[in-house]
Chain A
C-alpha cells in the first residue's frame, strides 16, 4: 500500500544566535491510508517540528532537508505555492488550543468552509450548507443555528469540534492532530478521541497524532514512533511497542505513569534532562540518562534503528528483553 505521507531522512535545523539547533536530526516515518500514526515524546523531542516541516509549515528560520512524499507528489522539490495548494487540498490540521485556531470575529460557519471555498471552488450558498453539514457531522447540536455563532459562544470541547470540522472541510486524505486534546478536560478528551476515531472510520482519513500522552496513544494508534532529542528511538505497531518496549527510554516512560492497579511504590523516574538541541551528543542522545547505561560505544557511536520483530524497530545497542520489564 502506498503511504499517504512519508518522510525520509528528514532534518530540521534552526539557526539561533548560539548556533544551529538540531530540532529534528534525521527521522523516517510513513502513515498508511486510513491508519493512525502516533508521534510521542516529551517537549522538545521534535515530534511537532517533524510534522510541521514535512507539511512545509516549519518556521522561516528553519533549514529542512530530506524527502517528503504526499500521496504521489514529492513535496520537497516543489514551489511554495504548489506545496500550499497540495497541503490545502489534502491535509487538515487540528492544533492544541482551539481558541487560537479560530478567528474570534468571524462566524464559525464561514471559518469552517473558508478553505473549501478556495480549494474546491464552493459558492457562498453551497459553502453555508456544507458548513452546517460539517458542524452536524462533528456533533455540534442544532448546527443550523450555531453556524452563525462566534467562537467565544462555544465551550472548549465544542470549539475543538469546530476546528475538526474545519480540518475536514476539503475531505482531506490526511489529518494532522497536534496535541488536540491536551487543553481539554478528560471527559471532553474522551469525546474528541471518540469523534476523531469515528470520523476516521467513516471517511477513511489517515491521521498523524502528535501527543505526549501514552494513554491516548494506546487508544488511538495503529503504529507509534517514540521520539527523543530529534530522533526516533523506537517505532512499530502499537501492541508491539507497548507490549514489549525494547528501548530503555520507552520502558521508563511507560513506568513513569502512576498505575492505579499496581501498589503505591515510588514511581520510576528518568534522572536529568534531555540534551540541548544546540549540542546533540555524537552517540546515543539518551545514554547520559539511560538506566541500562551500556558502555563507551553508546557514548560515541549513534546506534542504528534495528528491527526486533515485524515492523518493530529500535535505536539502541541494548534492546530490552521482549517480555518487557515495565515495572
Chain B
C-alpha cells in the first residue's frame, strides 16, 4: 500500500477534504494566495511608488494614509513591503527551482545507478551539506559579488543537497519495486524508467520538501539581504528593509516590524501548507476503507 495508489481526482478530493478539516492549512493557503496576488500585481496594487521620496513625511507612524508608516526618506512602507513581495517570491521560486533541477537530477542518477557515481555525487553533497547554510551563501556571494542573481544562485546551491538526498532516498526504495523490474523486463530504457516510473512515484516527498524549502529560501534571502549581500538598495526586499530599519528600532518600530511580519507570515504559510501536503500524501493517512479498497 502506498500513497501512489490514490489516483489524481482522489488526491484533489482529499486535498479539499483536508483543507475543510484543517483550518491551519486553509489559513496557510489563503495567505499564500494573497502573497501571490501581491507579488504579481504589487506595482499596480501598491498605493505609491517604491522610491517616491517625500521629505515632508519622514518616519511617520502608521496612519490611514500610510497604514505601515513611512521610512526615513518618507517612502510608504506598505508599498515597499508589497513590491518587495515579488522579490521574495522570485528568490524563493528561482532558488528552489535551481535546487530542484540540480538536486533531483543528481539524486535520481545517484540513486538509480548506485556504485561509484552514487559515492562521488553524494560525498560532494555531504560536503556542501556540512557547511553552515549562511557561510556557504556568503562564500558564494563573495566570489560572484552581491546582488539578486547571486543571492538566488547561492541559495539554490545551498538547498541542492537536500533535494539530492530526498530524491535519492525515494529512488532507492522505488527502484526495488517489482513494477520497475517489470519495466526493465519489457525493455524500457533507463531514462524512460526514471522519467515514467521513478519520478512520479517519489513526487510526494518532493512536493513536501519544496514547500518547506520555499519558506527557508525566503528566510535565507532575508538573512543575506540583512547582511547586505542580497538585493542592493534602493530596490526593496524584506530582509533589506529589516536591515535598514535596525537603526530606528526605538524611534520607528514600524520600519522593521512590517517587513519582519511579512517574512514571518510567508514562512509560516509555506510551512502550514507543507505540513498539510505531507498529511495528504502520507499513505498512512488513508482510511481503512480506502486502504482495503486499494489492496483488495
Chain A–chain B contact at Cβ < 8 A: yes
> Which residues on the B side are within 8 Å of A61 (C-beta)?
288
> Which residues on the A side are within 8 Å of B290 (C-beta)?
17
B287, A17: Cβ atoms closer than 8 Å: yes
A16, B296: Cβ atoms closer than 8 Å: no
Most-contacted residue by chain B among A16, A18, A61 (CB, 10 A): A16
Q: Closest B-chain residue to A278, C-beta based?
A: B289
A3 at the interface (CB under 8 A from B): no
B288, A14: Cβ atoms closer than 8 Å: yes
Q: How large is the interface on A (under 10, 10 to 19, 20 to 34, 35 or more residues)?
A: under 10
> Which residues on the B side are within 8 Å of A21 (C-beta)?
289
A303 at the interface (CB under 8 A from B): no
Cα distance, A173 to B289, chains bound together (Å):
35
A212: min CB distance to chain B, Å: 15
A44 at the interface (CB under 8 A from B): yes
B288, A44: Cβ atoms closer than 8 Å: no
- Interface membership of chain A positions 1-38, coded 1 if the CB is closer than 8 angstroms to chain B and 0 otherwise: 00000000000001011100100000000000000000
> Which residues on the A side are within 8 Å of B289 (C-beta)?
16-18, 21
Q: Closest B-chain residue to A21, C-beta based?
A: B289
Cα distance, A18 to B293, chains bound together (Å):
11
Q: How large is the interface on B (under 10, 10 to 19, 20 to 34, 35 or more residues)?
A: under 10
Cα distance, A61 to B287, chains bound together (Å):
11
B296, A44: Cβ atoms closer than 8 Å: yes
Q: Closest A-chain residue to B296, C-beta based?
A: A44
A294: min CB distance to chain B, Å: 27
- Interface membership of chain B positions 145-182, coded 1 if the CB is closer than 8 angstroms to chain A and 0 otherwise: 00000000000000000000000000000000000000
Task: Count CB-based A-B contacts (< 8 Å).
Answer: 13
- Interface membership of chain B positions 271-296, coded 1 if the CB is closer than 8 angstroms to chain A and 0 otherwise: 00000000000000001111010001
A207: min CB distance to chain B, Å: 29
Cα distance, A82 to B28, chains bound together (Å):
48
Cα distance, A16 to B287, chains bound together (Å):
8
Cα distance, A44 to B288, chains bound together (Å):
14
> Which residues on the A side are within 8 Å of B296 (C-beta)?
44
Q: Closest B-chain residue to A273, C-beta based?
A: B296
Cα distance, A18 to B292, chains bound together (Å):
12
Q: Closest B-chain residue to A19, C-beta based?
A: B289
Cα distance, A61 to B289, chains bound together (Å):
11
Cα distance, A44 to B295, chains bound together (Å):
12
Q: Closest B-chain residue to A43, C-beta based?
A: B296
> Which residues on the B side are within 8 Å of A59 (C-beta)?
288
A218: min CB distance to chain B, Å: 28
A22: min CB distance to chain B, Å: 13
B281: min CB distance to chain A, Å: 19
A275: min CB distance to chain B, Å: 12
B81: min CB distance to chain A, Å: 44
State which residues 241-296 of B face A: CB under 8 Å: 287-290, 292, 296
B287: min CB distance to chain A, Å: 5
B87: min CB distance to chain A, Å: 45
> Which residues on the A side are within 8 Å of B292 (C-beta)?
16
Cα distance, A21 to B296, chains bound together (Å):
14
> Which residues on the B side are within 8 Å of A44 (C-beta)?
296
B284: min CB distance to chain A, Å: 15
> Which residues on the B side are within 8 Å of A16 (C-beta)?
287-289, 292
- Interface membership of chain B positions 83-102, coded 1 if the CB is closer than 8 angstroms to chain A and 0 otherwise: 00000000000000000000
A96: min CB distance to chain B, Å: 15
> Which residues on the B side are within 8 Å of A14 (C-beta)?
288
Cα distance, A41 to B143, chains bound together (Å):
72
Cα distance, A59 to B291, chains bound together (Å):
15
> Which residues on the A side are within 8 Å of B288 (C-beta)?
14, 16, 59, 61
Cα distance, A171 to B287, chains bound together (Å):
39
Q: Closest A-chain residue to B288, C-beta based?
A: A16
Q: Closest A-chain residue to B291, C-beta based?
A: A16
State which residues 104-148 of A face B: CB under 8 Å: none
Known: A16-B288, A17-B289, A59-B288. 10 other contacts (CB 8 A): A14-B288, A16-B287, A16-B289, A16-B292, A17-B287, A17-B290, A18-B289, A21-B289, A44-B296, A61-B288
Q: List 13 A-B contacts (CB under 8 A).
A: A14-B288, A16-B287, A16-B288, A16-B289, A16-B292, A17-B287, A17-B289, A17-B290, A18-B289, A21-B289, A44-B296, A59-B288, A61-B288
Binding site for A on B (CB under 8 A): 287-290, 292, 296
Counting from the closest, the 9 A-B pairs by CB-CB distance are A16-B289, A17-B287, A17-B289, A18-B289, A16-B288, A61-B288, A16-B287, A14-B288, A21-B289
